[in-house]
């Protein structure tokens, strides 16, 4: 029997219910221990993506039936820990900076995010502290202010801090109300019909790559967006990640999510001609910046659809492209704080957290699934698609729509070792999580390891 979470995600993406029978789940209970059904969410997101990949592959290869998709909790749980399990020449990654943590305020709790240097400076500036201030200085200042006061002051300075809320408080918050009104995945056809089609796949001895020949312009950062584009790269897409040269990605995050991609830097204003050349040949544009941030570069969905009919535009944000928080920055850890997850997973003594960054990873796989299904739909009507997801909406799915984890019987999860592998790379010897998206005849690993940040030319392969 298909889990209702998988069914709801697949139907939201416009998938044919009859194809759900092509998905096989290997459940390993107790791999992700939490009060909320986070393991079910992880399985649903990856399973939906695997089914969408198998569907597109069958269509392009002219197969009589869709290959069987398999989602194994062992692979899923390991992949959802990918940034923690990565090793670079034996070194463990650094995932959170010293000022990215929980703090007691004069009233309530507040969580800050200061992994990037510019976010750290803005946080300290909002608190009236010098750039060389440490955790003890921040702690002293926060004990003099309420959590909500800190949230607003840091936001006004362009930094990141969120006050702890209960599920009820978030449900009554104007942004929580807006989030609850939206579908898990927002999908709409955009632009005029075009002749854009992906060529048929040749059925040879190699793996079935549903996204072969696809060009994906990756304008994302941190985890969720890069997970989506990393998945498209696994499936054969030519993924070019582009970053602004003045805002480099954190090295360990770049390594974890850079498999199968190339990495270039581009000043969007000064290099507008290069950007237009990339867009003219792209099939998909994936953005992960806060809503509206890229519009001034002509990268709004409406502008893109007008200039490039048939283009698939996939957008990811923290809070959604609507409501009073629609233009705010955010990350998985902060969305957990605002939406009541941290309160649910915590105790009377202190807040808690999900065992993995499930909002990031889960939303990333759903975003990739949305792109794959959009390509399948474009093959029928020639029209481009806008696909939108928000971490806060994924959180709503987990907290209010998922129900309870039934914890069925099945093989135990005995650790990540069976789903880890190693390879050499330009960054060093890597130990990393194998991709969890799997279907009969599909790829077992990425074709290439991550490359050094900014080392690729800003051109398609």
Question: What token pair was written down for 429?
Answer: 């010897």
Burial class (CB in 10 A: 0-12, 13-18, 19+), 21: exposed
Tokens read off for 194: 């075009």
Instruction: Scan for tokens 């029997």, then name that residue.
Output: 1
Q: What token pair was written down for 166?
A: 């209960």
Catalytic residue among 360, 381, 424, 445: 360
Helical H segments across 182-271, by residue range: 224-234, 251-257
For the chain, the distance separating the N- and C-terminal CA atoms, rounded to the nearest angstrom, is 43
Question: At a CB cut-off of 8 Å and minimum separation 6, what does 270 contact?
Answer: none
For the chain, the helix, strand and coil percentages under 3-state DSSP, each to the nearest 5: 40, 15, 45
Task: Output the DSSP codes for 316-385.
Answer: EESS-SSSTTTT----HHHHHHHTTHHHHHS-SSS----SS-HHHHHHHHHHHHHHHHHHHHHHHH--EE
Between CA 278 and CA 307 the distance in angstroms is: 13
Q: Strand, coil or helix: what is 237?
A: coil
Tell me if 371 sits within 8 A of 314, measured CB to CB. Answer: yes
Structure tokens, 223: 């985890």
Say whether 360 is catalytic: yes
Half-sphere exposure (Cβ direction) of 212: Cα atoms closer than 13 Å: 19
| Cα→Cα distances 81→6, 24, 41, 128, 399, Å | 21, 22, 14, 36, 21
Within 13 A of 348's CA, how many CA atoms are on the CB side?
0
Q: Enumerate the active-site residues.
A: 360
């Amino acid at each position: 029997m298909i889990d209702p979470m998988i069914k709801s995600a697949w139907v939201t993406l416009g998938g044919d219910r009859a194809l759900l029978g092509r998905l096989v789940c290997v459940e390993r209970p107790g791999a992700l221990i939490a009060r909320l059904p986070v393991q079910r969410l992880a399985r649903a997101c990856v399973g939906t993506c695997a089914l969408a990949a198998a569907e597109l592959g069958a269509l392009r290869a002219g197969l009589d039936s869709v290959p069987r998709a398999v989602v194994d909790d062992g692979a899923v749980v390991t992949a959802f820990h990918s940034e923690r399990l990565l090793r670079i020449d034996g070194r463990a990654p650094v995932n959170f900076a010293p000022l990215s943590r929980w703090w007691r305020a004069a009233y309530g709790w507040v969580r800050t995010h200061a992994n990037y240097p510019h976010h750290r400076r803005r946080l300290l500036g909002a608190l009236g502290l010098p750039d060389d201030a440490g955790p003890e200085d921040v702690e002293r200042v926060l004990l003099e202010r309420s959590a909500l006061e800190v949230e607003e002051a840091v936001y006004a300075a362009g930094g990141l801090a969120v006050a702890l809320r209960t599920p009820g408080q978030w449900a009554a918050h104007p942004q929580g109300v807006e989030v609850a009104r939206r579908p898990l995945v927002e999908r709409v056809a955009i632009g005029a019909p075009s002749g854009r089609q992906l060529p048929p796949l040749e059925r040879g001895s190699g793996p079935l790559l549903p996204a072969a020949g696809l060009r994906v312009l990756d304008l994302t950062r941190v985890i969720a967006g890069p997970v989506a584009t990393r998945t498209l790269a696994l499936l054969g897409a030519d993924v070019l990640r582009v970053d602004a040269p003045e805002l480099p990605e954190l090295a360990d995050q770049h390594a974890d999510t850079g498999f199968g991609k190339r990495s270039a830097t581009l000043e969007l204003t000064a290099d507008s001609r290069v950007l237009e050349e990339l867009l003219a040949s792209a099939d998909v544009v994936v953005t992960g910046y806060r809503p509206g941030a890229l519009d001034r570069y002509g990268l709004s969905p409406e502008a893109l659809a007008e200039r490039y009919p048939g283009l698939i535009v996939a957008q990811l944000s923290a809070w959604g492209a609507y409501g009073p928080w629609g233009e705010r920055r955010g990350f998985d850890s902060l969305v957990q704080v605002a939406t009541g997850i941290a309160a649910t997973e915590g105790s009377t003594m202190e807040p808690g957290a999900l065992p993995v960054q499930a909002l990031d990873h889960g939303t990333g796989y759903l975003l990739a699934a949305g792109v794959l299904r959009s390509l399948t739909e474009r093959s029928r009507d020639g029209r481009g698609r806008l696909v939108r997801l928000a971490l806060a909406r994924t959180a709503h799915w987990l907290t209010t729509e998922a129900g309870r984890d039934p914890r069925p019987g099945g093989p135990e999860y005995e650790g990540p070792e069976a789903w880890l592998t190693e390879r050499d790379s330009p960054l060093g010897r890597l130990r990393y999580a194998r991709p969890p998206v799997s279907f009969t005849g599909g790829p077992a690993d990425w074709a290439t390891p991550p490359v050094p940040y900014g080392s690729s030319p800003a051109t398609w392969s």
